[in-house]
Structures are given as C-alpha cells and as structure tokens.
Structure 1
C-alpha cells in the first residue's frame, strides 16, 4: 500500500532513526567486545573487574531494551515468541482506541468549545481579509466560481422565496424591542449617542430658520390685541426666536448643558423601557407586525434580494475586479474591524465556537468511524511502518539509554559487592 499523509512526508527513520539504530547496535557490540577483553585480561589486571561488570550489565540492559523495542513491531529474530509483534496483532484494536481517543478528547461539543476558547478565529479572518496572501487569493477565486455557479443554477423564484421567507420569519420570531433597548443602552454607555444628539440639535436649528414665518404667525395669532396694537408681537417673536437660537447654540457647544442631560435621561429611560417595560415592548411588537404585513415591505425585500443576487453573481464572476474596487475596500475594512474591535471579535469567535461544537455533536460519530475504518483497512505492515517512522528515533534512544544505565547499575552493584 502506498504511503500517504504527513507521516509519509515526514519520515524520521531516513536517515535519523536508521542512524540511531546503527549507534544503538554498535554500542551493544562495543560493550560485548569490552566484556570479552576485560574478562580475558582480568587475571593480570584485577581492576578490570569493574570494567567487566559495567560491560556485562550494559549488554544485559541493551539486549533487554532491544527485545522490548523490537517486540512492539515484529517478532524478535523472527521467532513467534508470545506477546511480541504487538502492534501488527492489535491493529484493529489500536484503530478503535485511537478513534475513541479522538471522539472523547476532540469531538465532544463541550471539549471542542473549551479548546476553541483560546483560538482567535476572528483575528485570523481579519488578517486574511485585510492583507490576503497569494494562497488566499487562489482560495478566494475558487470559492467565488463555486458561489456564482450555485446562485445561477438554483431557481431564482424559489430561492428568493426561501430567503425572503427566512428573513421575514426570523424578524417575526425576534422580539426587537429588547435588542433596540440594549443597542441604545450600549451606545449611551460608550458615548456613541453624542453624534445623534448633535445631529438632532442641528436639525432643530435648521428647523427654526426654515419655519421662522410660521413661528411669527403663531405668536401673532396668540398675542392679545393690546400687544398687536402696540406692535409688541414682533418683538415677542424676535425674543422667542433669539432665545431658541441661543439655546441651540449653547446645547451644541456645551456638552454638560442641562437640556442635553435631560435628553440623555430620556434616551436612558427609553432604553430601559424597551428592555424591561411590557407595555413599551408590546407597542414596538405591534409596530413590527404592522410593518411586516405591509405590502411595501414585501416589495422592498424582493428588490433587496434581486439586487443582492445580481451583486453576488457579478462579484463572484470577477472577484479580482471587485476586490480591487469598492468591495475590496469593504473587505479590507471588515478585516481591519475584526482585528481591531475586541467586542466584534468576541461575538464572531463565540459564533464559531458554537458552530464547530454543533458540527462535532452532529458529525463526530461519522469522523470516528472514518478513522477506525481507515486504520482497519490498512495492512499490518503499513501500520507498523507508519508508527515506527513516527517514534523510531526515540525508541533507539531508549536502547542506548538502557545500555548505559544498565552498565552503571552493574558497576554500582559490583562496587557494593567488592566493598
């Protein structure tokens, strides 16, 4: 069977593990030669008994570890010794165990969610959008062609009906008042309401200038005949208009103006009522239902869908042109926003965690079956070679360490016996 996958590309046995195997075997041969030489010369040089003890114990340790390492993958010396060739004989059980390990440690929804808490997917997506690499452009072109073909192949009327129905149903199921209240409260907390207040003040100032004749006429009609006879109605109109203009100027230049504070208090109360007051929430829901029942809303959704569909197909057919133009600026801006806004990143990451956890819960069993069935389909030689490739270098270090540690233990025991 042809090897494939990361283990085939990264093969530590060539030459690293093979070289370490030669070193481990050579060290064992050296210990045997030292033992034979020390044993032969010991009568003439008694101190060689320590060398002989070291070499003898080193041979024992090296042979024991050679047997243990070899028994994992094959029968030592080809002899069918019981409990050897462990991996080839237990290939299917290893596959089931590995699949169970993947399932219990990677494909459980709560485990996936916990492991993804440390991943900043939104920031990675932001970097991809704001500064796409060559590979990213290639991926984007392929995805664009697929999207264009998909949108053109599907029935426009049915797909549009599905999209518009899904949007309407989603809006109908969503209670918008708490969302509006939360958005307003968040805007007030972060001082994002200030531009809205300043815009309202500017509108009020322009309304005063545009409706000055109307205001003067209202004052004239409500003034008494005495004021009109004395010509004081015009002065009263001038005073009212000047006072209102002065008020708008002061409100626009003084962030702590009492009227502005009253407006903020009113907005805060509205945000609270939208979230917590049943009467206000019911009123907003009624407005929403009336809006959805209006035919103009359905027509607006239809036009929105047609424009969106046409834009998606056009953008997908010419992704480079779109990315070089306004859409590219939008994507780069979206990427910069994802990178720079912690709250948006948190929301995107939370959505990604939930989506991946849901996929793990739905398809984890299929992935586990795929792993176990794939390993079961391998022949024993393939499994043995792949596992030995992955850990072969470390196993040869075990043989070397066993040889040296065994020799030191033998030396210590001989020293104790001599003393």
Structure 2
C-alpha cells in the first residue's frame, strides 16, 4: 500500500510535468495540470501527516512529529484507562453479561448430537485429559483421599443413615434386603448343618448321648430353624419378621434422635476411616475414577453416546428449558465475572500499562503501523485524489 500511494504521487508529478510542457499548444491541458498540481499537494500533505504519526519525515526533527514514539507511555495509560472504564468495572461487566445467555449456550452444547461441535469438544477433552495426566498422581490422589476423609470426619452420618433407613422402610424398599437376608440364613443353615449337630452332640450330657437323644435334639433344632426361615420367607406377617421390622424402625429412629446411638455410630465411622483397608479402597477408587475420566476425555464421542451422554443431554435440556435454573446459573456467572473484574481488573490494567511502557519506541511504532498502516496509506491515496479534484474545481472557477 505504501508503494501504491507513493506510485500515485509520482504519477501525478509526471502528469504535471507533461501538462506544463504541452499546455501552450493544448490549452485544455491547464485543467489536467491544475488537477495534478493540487493532487501532489494533497498527497504530500497526507504523506507528511501519516509519516509524522510514526517517525520524523525525512529524518528531520520537525516539532510535533513522531507522535506515537514520543507518547507511548501516555498511549499505554490511555489504553489501560479505556479497558478499565469500558470493560473491567464490575457494573459495566454485569451490564454486558446481562445480555449473555451462558446457561442456554451450555444447554445447547450439551444437547448437540454426537459428531457435532467436534472441534470444541475434542479440544476441551484433550485439554482435560492432558491436565489429569500431567498432574502428580500420588500427590493429587492423596489430596483427593484426604479431602474425602476429612469431609466424612466432619459429617455426622448417623442422621443420614437413619433418614435413609426410615425412607426405605416407609417405601417398602427394605423388603428385598430382608428376604435376601432370610435366604442367606437358610443357605448358611444348610451349609453348617454338620457343625450344628456336632455342637449339640458336644454339649449334650452323657444321659442324652446314652439314650441317643442328642441326635433327635439336633434334628429338632435344624428342622425348627429350617421351618422358621421358610415361614419367614413365605409369610410377610410372620411375628419374627414383624419384630425385625420393628427393630429396624427403632434403629432408624435412634440413629436420628438417640445421642448414645449417634455417638456409637460416629465412633465406628472414625475407626473405619482409620482402617488401612479403607485407605486402600479409597486409593483404588481414585485410580479407577481417574482412569475412567481420562478414557472418557480421550474419546468424548463414545462418552457422549453412553449413559453419561444421556445424562448430559438431559442436563442440557433442563438448562435450556427451565427458566429458574437458567436464571440462577446466568446470575451466578454474571456475579462471578463481575467479581473477577472487581478483584483483578486493576491488575490487568496495570499489566497493560506496564507492558506498553516496557516496549521500546520502535516496537510500538512497528506494531501500531502494522495494525493500521494499510488504512493510513488509503488516506494518502484519498488525499491525492481529493486534492486533485479540489484543484480542478478551483481552476475551473478561476477560468470562468
């Protein structure tokens, strides 16, 4: 563009010289000469103005030239103030965020069919996978395990257990577990029948053994236990089952209201958390979770196609269709961004100002000229042509 603007100026100079040479023979060339003469003036004036922004024209220290290099610090301050006043003030950020539907955008993204949004999804997935793989596994795993353990230590679990048990009893969700326990008892009885008979034989006195009644007593005990488990399994109103259900209901109530029961449960919880087996279980749980997250992140389409994908799509529908949820999330995002602007806006402004201040004059000149130089060269071209038109009009008025 510099070559085009300078070339046009040279063309006007050549036209002026030619018109002036042949004006006596061809009077109408006076108009051409006037156009070319004024075009040179306009082109030279705009060349001076454009050049004076970035450097001294022809290297001459003319006052009020090289404006940008001489004022780079003031430009940095002005740019920083512009950012602060128009982008980094909490009310301004909140006002701009008010028109941004972040929750709706996330909802539409989560509902996108498999294969769509691949660049964003794969880029984000790759970033997540690389992040998990780059973090110190032992340190991060220890942090996660200690965080979970500390959370459990601070949490009183007995009321939660009591509430969960009470809800299960009210909704008859305890019945399958109770029947499974009865079936397990029956299988345990069959598997340990010999042990029961041996115990009865050892504990029977010599009279029973002499009369052979110890075997009959063992048969009666085994048969009675089998009948008890069978009756409990087939009869929901069996007295023993009722007693067990009453005991479960009392346990649910004690877990929520009895201080002694709650204290015993909390003590058991602490002992359980101090057990090395629980620590190994948490370690295994973390490793499996970490590997699953990395696999899902490496293959986001597969993850989105499974149960996780269904859950995420359901979340997306809720985000997009539920006005209350959408409003709450957008409000949270607006407050979070406004809070970040209030907390870190000054640091960002200071960073911009100090960065510009550290640049040398040549660097900032080159960067600004590269950014807007093309349009500035159009100013030179327009100045040449507009100046020529003004010269032609003035010459025409003078001739008239």
TM-score bucket (shorter structure): 0.5 to 0.7
Structure 1 equivalent of residue 338 of structure 2: 357
2:33 equivalent among 52, 59, 69: 52
CA pair 321-23 structure 1, distance change in 2 beyond 3 A: closer
Structure 1: state its 5+ residue gaps. 1-19, 169-202, 204-288
1:154 aligns with one of 116, 139, 143: 143
Q: What are the within-5 Å matches in structure 2 for residues 370-385 of structure 1? A: 370-385=351-366
Which range is displaced more, 132-141 or 91-100?
A: 132-141
- Please state how far the C-alpha of 1:406 moved relative to its aligned partner: 0.7
Distance between the aligned counterparts of 2:38 and 2:131, measured in 1? 65
In structure 2, the partner of 1:41 is 22
In structure 2, relative to structure 1, the CA distance for the partners of 1:335 and 1:308 (3 Å cut) is farther
Q: State the match for 1:188 in structure 2.
A: none
Q: Is 1:148–1:316's contact at 8 Å kept on the other side of the alignment?
A: no
Match of 1:135 in 2: 123
Pair 1:114-2:95 in alignment: yes
Tell me the secondary structure at the aligned position of residue 375 of structure 2: helix
| Paired residues of 2:141 and 2:283 also in contact (CA < 8 A) | no
- Secondary structure of the residue that 1:318 maps to in structure 2? helix
SS of equivalent to 2:99: coil
Change (3 A) 1:373 1:65: same
Query: Is the counterpart of residue 318 in structure 1 residue 292 in structure 2?
Result: yes
> Which residue pairs with 2:65 in the alignment?
84
- The partner residue of 2:350 within 369, 381, 384 is 369
CA-atom RMSD, angstroms? 3.7
Pairing of 1:176-325 with structure 2 (within 5 A): 314-321=288-295, 324=303, 325=306
How does the TM-score come out when normalised to structure 2?
Answer: 0.60
What does residue 399 of structure 2 align with?
418
| Alignment partners' CA distance in 1, 2:34 and 2:86 | 48
Distance 1:34 1:390 in 2: 33
Q: Distance in 2 between matches of 1:290 and 1:351?
A: 37
Pair 1:344 & 2:325 matched: yes
Q: Secondary structure at the match of 1:367?
A: helix
CA distance in structure 2 between the aligned counterparts of 1:120 and 1:38, rounded to whole angstroms: 65
Cα shift at 1:396: 0.7
Q: Is the 8 A contact 2:132 2:294 kept in 1?
A: no
Shift of 1:378: 1.5
Aligned residue among 379, 382, 387 for 2:368: 387
Q: Distance in 1 between matches of 2:265 and 2:337?
A: 35
What's the secondary structure of 2:91's corresponding residue? helix
Shift of 1:414: 1.3
**What is the alpha-carbon distance in structure 2 between the residues aligned to residue 309 and residue 109 of structure 1?**
43
State the 1:312 CA deviation: 6.9
Which residue in 1 is equivalent to 2:54? 73
Match of 1:396 among 365, 377, 394: 377
Match of residue 183 from structure 1: none
Change (3 A) 1:418 1:296: farther
Give the C-alpha shift of residue 160 in structure 1. Answer: 5.0
- Against the structure 1 CA distance between its residues 90 and 373, is the aligned structure 2 distance closer, same or farther, given a 3 Å change threshold? same
Post-superposition offset of 1:321: 4.5
The higher radius of gyration belongs to: 2
Give the secondary structure class of the aligned counterpart of 2:129.
helix
Distance in 2 (alpha carbons) for counterparts of 1:393 and 1:46: 38
Equivalent pair of 1:73/1:384 in contact (CA under 8 Å) = yes
The answer to whether the Cα contact below 8 Å between 1:109 and 1:358 also exists between their aligned partners in 2 is yes
Q: What does residue 6 of structure 2 align with?
A: 25
Q: Give SS of 1:403's match.
A: helix
Deviation string, structure 1 residues 55-74 (Cα, Å, up to 9, x no partner): 11111110000001111111
Distance verdict in 2 for CA 1:380–1:311, change over 3 Å: farther
How far, CA to CA, are the matches of 2:110 and 2:386 in structure 1?
56
Distance in 1 (CA, whole Å) between partners of 2:63 and 2:5 is 25
Q: Against the structure 1 CA distance between its residues 296 and 414, is the aligned structure 2 distance closer, same or farther, given a 3 Å change threshold?
A: farther
Q: Counterparts of 1:408 and 1:311 in 2: how far apart (Å)? A: 81
Deviation string, structure 1 residues 27-58 (Cα, Å, up to 9, x no partner):
10111111111111111221111111111111
